[in-house]
Structure 1
Amino acid sequence: MINRRTFIKNSSLLALAVPLRKLSLPAFNRVKLRDFGIQLYMVRDAMEKDTPGTLGLLGEMGYTQIESYSGSKGMFWGLSNIEFKKLANGNGLNLISSHYKDSDMPFEKQAAMAAETGMKYLICPWKGPQKSIDNFKHIADDFNHRGQICKKHGLRFGYHPHDYPYKTVNGQLPINVLLDHTDPALVDFEMDFYYTVTEGLDPEAYLNKYKKRFRLCHMRDVLKQRLPAGDKEESACDLGQGIIDYPHLIKTALANGMKYFFVEQSRYFNETQLQSAGVNAHYMKNLVL
């Protein structure tokens, strides 16, 4: 027999359950990212000390993809291209792309080696500020040429903008010039959401306007309270701890052709690079769009 106290308690729980159930209904139409990656520059110190061990930890954290870069040991971390691919795959990591450096070896050779691993992209990480907008037009021509080389080898060429392409030169934004003067059939872009936001532009507007041009991205967050201008690492923070609405932004990105999402933190608040990688992996695993 249910007494008055039990009845009141159960009635109260039921009253709470009804609105909660109604609020959760839209979640049936929401999804999570199946795969997400990390730019290895984020854990560069650990990679330098122990490449196999670090890749093992990244796999355990839940990362399924990696983007390499050309550090002191090259984009394959002192191994052959095939050895590095096997090491990554053995830890549940798919080598999607790498930032390259021209001083390592001729670009065509780098493209050939990347293609042998099944890598999807070679990415230009840096061109630096330019004195005239015409310089950016020449860079666009160079990107088209490199795009042809990559296409010949069965992969894609991409460009990763930092902050400078979002700063006006001769009355124009270099990022717009680069997008408008590169061939979509040959050149893709890797948006860094952090720089787009901190330079005062709208990443969603770019995704919508330049559909299927931004195929990859770097993800970190922006502090609610911005640090003073000139701070070495500016106002970066771990995902979910800042102002960027990533659930909404990634939905827009996916709708406009983005395929690869790489975490890349540059500022560490009382944590190591690997600890930050863990925090960001947890965010990505639990991100609901």
Structure 2
Amino acid sequence: MKNQRRKFIQMGAMLGVGAAFMPLQFCAAPKKEGEVAVGEAVAKSKLESFGIQLYSVKEDMATDAQATMRALAGYGYKQLEGFDGGKGILWGMQPAEFKSLMSETGTSMVASHANVFENLDAQAAQAAEVGIKYLICPWIGAQKSLDDYKKIADQFNQMGETLKSHGLRFAYHNHDYSFVPQEGALGQDILMDNTDPALVDFEMDIYWVHVAGINPAEYLAKYPGRFRLCHVKDAEAGTGDPHERGVLLGAGEIPYADLIKQSKDMGMEYFIVEQERFPTGTPMEAAEANAKYLSALEY
């Protein structure tokens, strides 16, 4: 009995010594979102907030913009990205009315696509009044030469100066055309290399980069910190008409769990759903399904 008791005491002492020399990181608690203690299972993160480009539900917006935005907030969208649907970037609302709606729904209009080539000062003043952070050029079309892209880049710098004077940021949203090789280079590279990072940000449409045959993660790594916003939409596997490959998030081949983590490491701040093709269901049903996907997605 005494021998058993002696062995028990010796074992307890050994365990105590082992614990004393155990590396502290095995006991340390995670300190940041997504950070885990060594020796524990890797913890996953989720997006705290994400948005939707209102063009995804443009018919509903045209019918009743306020009811549509309330419904989107109910699906879990905390951020909205607008577009000029013919009623201006505030959809016919006065600034006070617009701000009241954002407060009521717990959402914010972080950006709006706009015709930045006309009345930019007036649009910027209106956007600033309601707290919009970005006005975004959504389209320039395929340019005939790389020099034409350079001229566009010069215009973007000027637009960035204008918006800066109003406390806003300028950004450009890509399609696939700027990722098509031209004269041995990419038009998108010309835009990136010839715009001032202090004045011009970019919104990566991940779908259009992907269907153009470019790896989105690799391109983000090539220009870290330049893409602050992105459009999140999925592409069905395979090849074919790029305009006909859009599917609901999670139903395609774009690895969003990896991409979200990688892009956040490269300075991405805003993740904005956009759906332009609806294989099944209505646009609002697609918006709800995409919100559920992003709410549950772990990265």
* Larger Rg over CA atoms: 2
Q: Answer yes or no: is 1:95 the counterpart of 2:109.
A: yes
1:145 to 139, 150, 158: 158
Q: Which of 50, 57, 61 is matched with 2:64 structurally?
A: 50
Q: Distance in 2 between matches of 1:183 and 1:82?
A: 34
Moved over 4 A (4+): none
Partners in 2 of 1:26 and 1:78 — Cα distance? 51
Partner of 1:162 in structure 2? 175
2:116–2:136 Cα contact (<8 Å) kept: no
- Cα distance in 2 for residues equivalent to 1:38 and 1:245: 19
Partner of 2:124: 111
CA distance in 2, matches of 1:89, 1:45: 24
What's the counterpart of residue 275 of structure 1?
285
8 Å contact from structure 2 (residues 138, 172) kept in 1: yes
Task: Tell me the amino acid that sits aligned with residue 201 of structure 2.
Answer: D
Q: 1:183 aligns with which of 196, 200, 203?
A: 196
Q: Which amino acid aligns with 1:142?
A: Q
Within 5 Å, give how 1:196-235 maps onto structure 2: 196-226=209-239, 228-229=240-241, 233-235=243-245
Q: How many angstroms apart in 2 are the aligned matches of 1:249 and 1:26? A: 21
Q: Which letter does structure 1 place at the counterpart of 2:109? A: L
SS at structure 2 position matched to 1:26: coil
Q: How many residues end up aligned between the 2 structures?
A: 260
Distance in 1, Cα, partners of 2:90 & 2:70: 16
**In 1, Cα distance between equivalents of 2:51 and 2:220:** 20
Contact 1:158–1:189, Cα closer than 8 Å, also in 2: yes
Q: Percent of aligned positions with the same letter in both sequences?
A: 45
What is the identity, as a one-letter code, of the residue corresponding to 1:257? Answer: G
- The CA deviation at 1:85 is 2.9
The CA deviation at 1:234 is: 2.2
TM norm structure 1: 0.87
User: Which residue is 2:205 aligned to?
Assistant: 192
Correspondence for 2:44 among 27, 30, 49: 30
Give distance in 1, aligned partners of 2:205 and 2:41: 30
**Alpha-carbon contact 1:218-1:262 (below 8 Å) kept:** yes
Q: Which runs of 5+ in 2 are unaligned?
A: 1-39
Alpha-carbon separation, structure 2, partners of 1:236 and 1:26: 35
Q: TM-score normalized by structure 2?
A: 0.84
Please tell me whether the aligned partners of residues 85 and 95 of structure 1 are also in contact (alpha carbons under 8 angstroms): no
Q: CA RMSD in A?
A: 1.3
